[in-house]
């Protein structure tokens, strides 16, 4: 009886015997080297397909030092943006002949980040991509001296590392200006978690748009990306509306999920959207066209982000510098925004 099913995988030498050449010639064919006679090449090709040979990645990695794989470090992969970016990354990596390993951080600490990167380095990945990480983890990234290229995706601009990012501020300005142009005196803001660079970028853009327009900058409300925090912010704002503080007529919420919670709270409290208050979100998740009312929001092209991330990695591996341009977000107007009521 055989040890366990598989009778030992095929090696180069098996193919070589079958084709009547040396193993090195087979290696040359497999790797597409020039200087193999067409007839030989074809004979080897045939032997390969007949036997169903696949090169052993581990052996190759041992001698070349490259696994043709990337490591992806991320947290919050269960959220729309990161998941969508992962999709783009994997596809682009695969197209370039690389495979993708993932590590999900248990928390956003430096230790977790360091451990994940270390594990990838031990696996001899060719590069590590850090996706949408927060707080300490981002700081850590900045300081790391890894023996492989370290690329950051979607964490906002970072001078110290190669980075691919969406221009968060631009998106936030777009949203805020849209509301101001509708005649709102000012725009309130529900932020994301303070240690998220995306959240900070959106806050910066919001503030800048207000200041540029000479509008007052109200104290922002703080959220954590989840609908629940948006709901709380919504209750708070609804209370102010009912108390007659009529500067609350427009809200820019830092992501769509929180906007959903906010809409739900406003509806509960009898505040009409967009009649009393206009709301803009961020991300353009597929659901938001079906919110009540359909949500005006800022679309980020996450798949593109993933693609550019891989592009940047490949450029780095070839030793080219390639300065990446930010991906630009777009405003998507739906029914949650409307003109400000004319003041009393």
Least distance from its own copies to the Cβ atom of residue 95, Å: 10
Q: Residue 198 or 232: which CB sits closer to its own copies?
A: 232
**Half-sphere exposure (CA, 13 Å, Cβ side) for 179?**
33
Task: Using alpha carbons, select from 136, 141, 153, 164 the residue that is nearest to residue 72.
Answer: 153
Q: Which residue shows structure tokens 């009540």? A: 292
Q: Segment 54-83, which members bind DNA (CB under 7 A)?
A: 55-56, 59-60, 62-64
Per-residue tokens: 344? 């009393």
Which positions ≥6 away from 158 have C-beta within 8 Å?
142, 152, 165
Per CB under 8 A, does 292 bind its own copies? yes
CA distance 218 to 238: 15
Find how far residue 286's CA is from the centre of its chain.
Answer: 16
Per-residue tokens: 306? 């993933």
Q: Is 33 helix (H, G, I), strand (E, B) or coil?
A: coil
When binding is defined by CB under 8 A, the residue of 83, 322, 328, 333 that contacts its own copies is: 83
- x-or-dash pattern for its own copies, window 186-225, by CB under 8 A? ----------------------------------------
Per CB under 8 A, does 55 bind its own copies? yes
- x-or-dash pattern for DNA, window 33-52, by CB under 7 A? -xxxx-xxx-----------
Q: Which stretch binds its own copies (CB under 8 A): 26-34, 103-111, 152-160, 193-201?
A: 103-111
CA distance 29 to 26: 5
Per CB under 8 A, does 111 bind its own copies? no
Least distance from its own copies to the Cβ atom of residue 292, Å: 4
Helix (H) or strand (E) holding 254, with range, is none
Cβ–Cβ under 8 Å, residues 263 and 274: no
Least distance from its own copies to the Cβ atom of residue 343, Å: 29
Per CB under 7 A, does 289 bind DNA? no
Task: Using alpha carbons, select from 279, 281, 277, 273 the residue that is nearest to residue 298.
Answer: 281
Per CB under 8 A, does 122 bind its own copies? yes
Q: Which stretch binds DNA (CB under 7 A): 27-35, 85-93, 101-109, 269-277?
A: 27-35
When binding is defined by CB under 8 A, the residue of 47, 92, 103, 137 that contacts its own copies is: 103
CA distance 336 to 179: 11
Per CB under 8 A, does 98 bind its own copies? no
Task: Using alpha carbons, select from 46, 57, 42 the residue that is nearest to residue 11.
Answer: 57
Cβ–Cβ under 8 Å, residues 311 and 92: yes
Least distance from DNA to the Cβ atom of residue 57, Å: 8
Per CB under 8 A, does 260 bind its own copies? yes
Residue 325 phi, psi (nearest 5): -90, 150
Least distance from its own copies to the Cβ atom of residue 333, Å: 17
Task: Using alpha carbons, select from 180, 174, 177, 139 the residue that is nearest to residue 156.
Answer: 139
Residues near DNA (CB under 7 A), total: 29
Least distance from DNA to the Cβ atom of residue 144, Å: 22
CA distance 12 to 26: 7
Per CB under 8 A, does 50 bind its own copies? no
Find how far residue 5's CA is from the centre of its chain.
Answer: 41
Cβ–Cβ under 8 Å, residues 270 and 239: no
123 binds, among DNA, its own copies, none (CB under 5 to 8 A by kind): its own copies
Give the binding site for its own copies (CB under 8 A): 5-6, 9, 54-59, 61-62, 67, 69, 77-78, 80, 83-84, 86-87, 90-91, 94, 99-104, 106, 118-119, 121-124, 147, 226-228, 230-231, 257, 260-261, 263-264, 267, 286-287, 289-292, 294
Give the binding site for DNA (CB under 7 A): 8-9, 11-13, 20-25, 27-28, 30-31, 34-37, 39-41, 55-56, 59-60, 62-64
């Amino acid at each position: 009886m055989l040890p366990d099913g598989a009778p030992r995988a095929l090696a180069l030498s098996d193919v070589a015997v079958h084709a009547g050449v040396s193993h090195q010639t087979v290696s040359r064919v497999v790797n597409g080297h020039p200087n193999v006679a067409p007839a030989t090449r074809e004979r080897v090709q045939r032997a390969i397909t007949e036997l169903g040979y696949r090169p052993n990645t581990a052996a190759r990695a041992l001698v070349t030092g490259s696994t043709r794989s990337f490591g992806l470090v991320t947290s919050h992969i269960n959220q729309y943006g990161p998941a969508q970016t992962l999709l783009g990354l994997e596809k682009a990596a695969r197209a370039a002949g690389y495979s993708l390993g993932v590590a999900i951080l248990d928390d956003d600490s430096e230790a977790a980040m360091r451990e994940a990167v270390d594990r990838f380095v031990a696996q001899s990945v060719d590069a590590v991509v850090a996706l949408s990480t927060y707080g300490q983890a981002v700081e850590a990234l900045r300081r790391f001296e890894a023996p492989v290229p370290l690329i950051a995706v979607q964490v906002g601009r970072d001078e110290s590392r190669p980075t691919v990012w969406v221009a968060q501020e631009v998106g936030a300005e777009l949203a805020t200006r849209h509301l101001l142009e509708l005649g709102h005196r000012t725009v309130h803001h529900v932020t994301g978690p303070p240690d998220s660079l995306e959240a900070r970028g959106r806050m910066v853009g919001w503030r800048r748009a207000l200041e540029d327009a000479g509008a007052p900058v109200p104290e922002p409300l703080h959220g954590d990306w989840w609908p629940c925090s948006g709901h709380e912010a919504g209750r708070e704002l609804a209370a102010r509306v009912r108390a007659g503080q009529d500067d609350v007529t427009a809200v820019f919420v830092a992501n769509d999920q929180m906007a959903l919670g906010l809409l739900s709270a406003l509806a509960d409290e009898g505040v009409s959207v967009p009649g009393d208050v206009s709301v803009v979100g961020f991300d353009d998740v597929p659901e938001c066209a079906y919110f009540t009312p359909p949500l005006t929001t800022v679309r980020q092209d996450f798949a593109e982000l993933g693609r550019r991330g891989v592009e940047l990695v490949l450029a780095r591996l070839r030793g080219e510098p390639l300065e990446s341009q930010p991906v630009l977000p777009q405003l998507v107007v739906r029914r949650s925004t409307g003109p400000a009521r004319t003041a009393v």
